[in-house]
């Protein structure tokens, strides 16, 4: 059986000792989660603090579990939590270490035996509501202020025979037992964000709820047609309001990549290949098409996992560069591979929308795709610019048929798109216009 030392009163005391600092950091943490799109009720910080007062702060895993239980309410939020928690933990440890070192031990003021019970810590919590964290709170406890963790313990004795000066200066630690500093933790989250961002984006796209709806008592959208039909029975007066809900199922995916010079010059090729490879691996069925002035299918080239993607592209025998005729290419798709897109298919279009072809053909083709597919997600490398507006002829033609137009230059763009799609869905306010970075907000990138 695993022993859980942090349930003892001694460990609960560390929370009480420095609870104001903990609350400040907790407030910062919940604020970060909120900014990243996690829905948090107003009392969640208090609930989290109460729970922390029960388990103490010495065990990272337990703190993480407790905060997940009290702050999160959907599996999607675990990803955001995992991205923010390491920094919170680092700040918290640094702050508590600072408290331990700053606590002066005056002459004759040895740390007293002070074993608080769990009820003590709870009563302190309920009596002292979480205060608003100040700018100073946050700024003075950045990653730079982290101190090497010592093996200080909460004092449990008033043994006057202790003559160790260092121990006398340190007083007691508010952090309880600790180990050596983890260099990775000190450096902040260091992991391959690109691959994670691409995977999350693809996972989100292939599980998007489509446009189809079915009747459901607990649906969120009124079924107007059904309501009208039913109202005929009651002389035109609608008695009930039938509701409908979105149909969710795993999606096929069709990736259309513009390989014209204007796109390839602005695009991170490695990221593009990673995206396509991930789509072919994760989607239930994936079709990949490359186009500039003509359309070529490259599904088979990407299907073999052992083939290098670049080799796959070479094998696709596509001549890169040159102008783009999106409408003509999509017309070819409609003619030669109409089964590539059905109502279960999410279409990912990678293009800058600079079209030199016939506008009418483009409008007709994109409308066909929009009618036939579950969603059109357009990744435009130009849309990463804050000044970008889709005024180019091709893009302006396609825009009414596109469900989401996102910038696409690096992993952070995909992370932002994932965030929007996850939390707002296809019918919510999504797209480059709602990218918080465009308005000077924080990046959703996990890159430190």
Residues near another protein, by CB under 8 A: 1-4, 7, 39, 41, 43-44, 47, 50-51, 54-55, 61-62, 65-66, 68-70, 72-75, 78, 216-218, 245, 249-250, 282-284
- Provide the minimum distance between the beta carbon of 446 and another protein in the complex, in angstroms, as a whole number: 20
Of 68 and 266, the one with the shorter C-beta distance to another protein is: 68
- Provide the minimum distance between the beta carbon of 442 and another protein in the complex, in angstroms, as a whole number: 24
Of 52 and 375, the one with the shorter C-beta distance to another protein is: 52
Of 69 and 187, the one with the shorter C-beta distance to another protein is: 69
- Provide the minimum distance between the beta carbon of 79 and another protein in the complex, in angstroms, as a whole number: 12
Alpha-carbon gap, residue 69 to 58, rounded angstroms: 18
Of 71 and 92, the one with the shorter C-beta distance to another protein is: 71
Alpha-carbon gap, residue 346 to 376, rounded angstroms: 6
Of 5 and 142, the one with the shorter C-beta distance to another protein is: 5
Of 195 and 270, the one with the shorter C-beta distance to another protein is: 195
HEC per residue, the chain: CCCCHHHCHHHHHHHHHCHHHHHHHHHHHHHHHHHCCCCCCCCHHHHHHHHHHHHCCCCHHHHHHHHHHHHCCCCCHHHHHHHHHHHHHHHHHHHHHHHHHHCCCCCCCCCCCCCCCHHHHHHHHHHCCCCCCCHHHHHCCCHHHCCCCCCCCCCCCCCCCCCCHHHHHHCCCCCCCCCCCCHHHHCCCCCCHHHHHHHHHHHHHCCCCCCCEEECCCCCEECHHHHHHHHHHCCCCCCCCCEEEECCCCCEEEEEEECCHHHHCCCCHHHHHHHHHHHHHHCCCEEEEEECCCEEECHHHHHCCCCCHHHHHHHCCCCCCCCCCHHHHHHHHHHHCHHHCCCCEEEEEECCCCCCCCHHHHHHHHHHHHHHCCEEEEEEHHHHCCCCCCCCHHHHHHHHHCCEEEECCCHHHHHHHHHHHHHHCCCCCCCHHHCHHHHCCCCCCCCC
- Provide the minimum distance between the beta carbon of 216 and another protein in the complex, in angstroms, as a whole number: 8
- Exposure string for 178-201, b = 16+ CB within 10 A, e = fewer: beeeeeebeeebeeebbebbbbbb
- Provide the minimum distance between the beta carbon of 125 and another protein in the complex, in angstroms, as a whole number: 12
Of 46 and 392, the one with the shorter C-beta distance to another protein is: 46
Of 66 and 84, the one with the shorter C-beta distance to another protein is: 66
Of 57 and 99, the one with the shorter C-beta distance to another protein is: 57
- Provide the minimum distance between the beta carbon of 183 and another protein in the complex, in angstroms, as a whole number: 25
- Provide the minimum distance between the beta carbon of 130 and another protein in the complex, in angstroms, as a whole number: 16
- Provide the minimum distance between the beta carbon of 134 and another protein in the complex, in angstroms, as a whole number: 27
Alpha-carbon gap, residue 25 to 33, rounded angstroms: 12
- Provide the minimum distance between the beta carbon of 1 and another protein in the complex, in angstroms, as a whole number: 6
CA dist 81 to 72, 133, 213, 250, 445, Å? Answer: 8, 20, 32, 25, 13
- Provide the minimum distance between the beta carbon of 244 and another protein in the complex, in angstroms, as a whole number: 12
CB 376 within 8 A of CB 370: yes
- Provide the minimum distance between the beta carbon of 22 and another protein in the complex, in angstroms, as a whole number: 17
CB 85 within 8 A of CB 66: no
Of 39 and 319, the one with the shorter C-beta distance to another protein is: 39
Four-residue CA torsion sign, 408, 412, 415, 419: negative
Of 250 and 294, the one with the shorter C-beta distance to another protein is: 250
Of 1 and 107, the one with the shorter C-beta distance to another protein is: 1
- Provide the minimum distance between the beta carbon of 369 and another protein in the complex, in angstroms, as a whole number: 23
């Amino acid at each position: 059986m695993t022993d859980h030392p942090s349930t003892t009163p001694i460990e609960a005391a560390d929370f009480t000792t420095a609870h104001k600092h903990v609350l400040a950091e907790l407030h910062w943490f919940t604020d970060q989660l909120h900014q990243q799109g996690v829905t948090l009720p107003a009392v969640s910080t208090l609930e989290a603090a109460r729970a922390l007062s029960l388990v103490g702060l010495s065990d990272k895993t337990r703190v993480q579990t407790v905060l997940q239980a009290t702050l999160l309410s959907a599996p999607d939020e675990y990803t955001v939590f995992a991205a923010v928690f390491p920094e919170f933990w680092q700040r918290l440890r640094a702050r508590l270490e600072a408290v331990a070192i700053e606590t002066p031990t005056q002459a004759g003021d040895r740390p007293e035996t002070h074993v608080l019970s769990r009820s003590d810590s709870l009563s302190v919590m309920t009596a002292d509501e979480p205060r608003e964290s100040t700018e100073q709170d946050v700024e003075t406890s950045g990653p730079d202020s982290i101190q090497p963790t010592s093996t200080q313990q909460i004092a449990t004795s008033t043994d006057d025979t202790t003559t160790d000066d260092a121990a006398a200066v340190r007083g007691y630690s508010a952090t309880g037992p600790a180990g050596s500093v983890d260099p990775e933790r000190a450096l902040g989250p260091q992991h391959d964000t690109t691959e994670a961002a691409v995977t999350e984006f693809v996972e989100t796209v292939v599980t998007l709820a489509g446009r189809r709806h079915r009747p459901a008592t607990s649906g969120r959208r009124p079924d107007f047609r059904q309501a009208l039909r039913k109202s005929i029975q009651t002389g035109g007066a609608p008695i009930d309001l039938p509701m409908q809900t979105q149909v969710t199922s795993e999606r096929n995916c069709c990736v259309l990549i513009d390989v014209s010079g204007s796109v390839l010059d602005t695009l991170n090729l490695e990221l593009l290949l990673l995206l396509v490879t991930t789509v072919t691996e994760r989607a239930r069925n994936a079709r990949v098409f490359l186009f500039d002035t003509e359309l070529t299918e490259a599904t088979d080239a990407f299907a073999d996992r052992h083939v290098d993607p670049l080799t796959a592209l070479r094998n696709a025998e596509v001549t890169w560069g040159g102008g783009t005729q999106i409408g003509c290419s999509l017309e070819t798709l409609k003619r030669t591979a109409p089964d590539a897109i059905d109502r279960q298919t999410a279409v990912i279009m990678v293009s800058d929308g600079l079209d030199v072809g016939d506008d009418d053909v483009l409008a007709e083709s994109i409308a066909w795709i929009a009618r036939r597919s579950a969603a059109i997600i357009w990744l435009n490398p130009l849309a990463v610019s804050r000044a970008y507006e889709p005024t180019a002829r091709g893009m302006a033609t396609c825009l009414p048929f596109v469900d989401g137009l996102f910038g696409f230059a690096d992993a952070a763009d995909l992370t932002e798109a994932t965030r929007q799609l996850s939390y707002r869905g296809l019918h919510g306010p999504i797209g480059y216009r709602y990218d918080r970075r465009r308005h000077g907000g924080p990046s959703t990138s996990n890159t430190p």
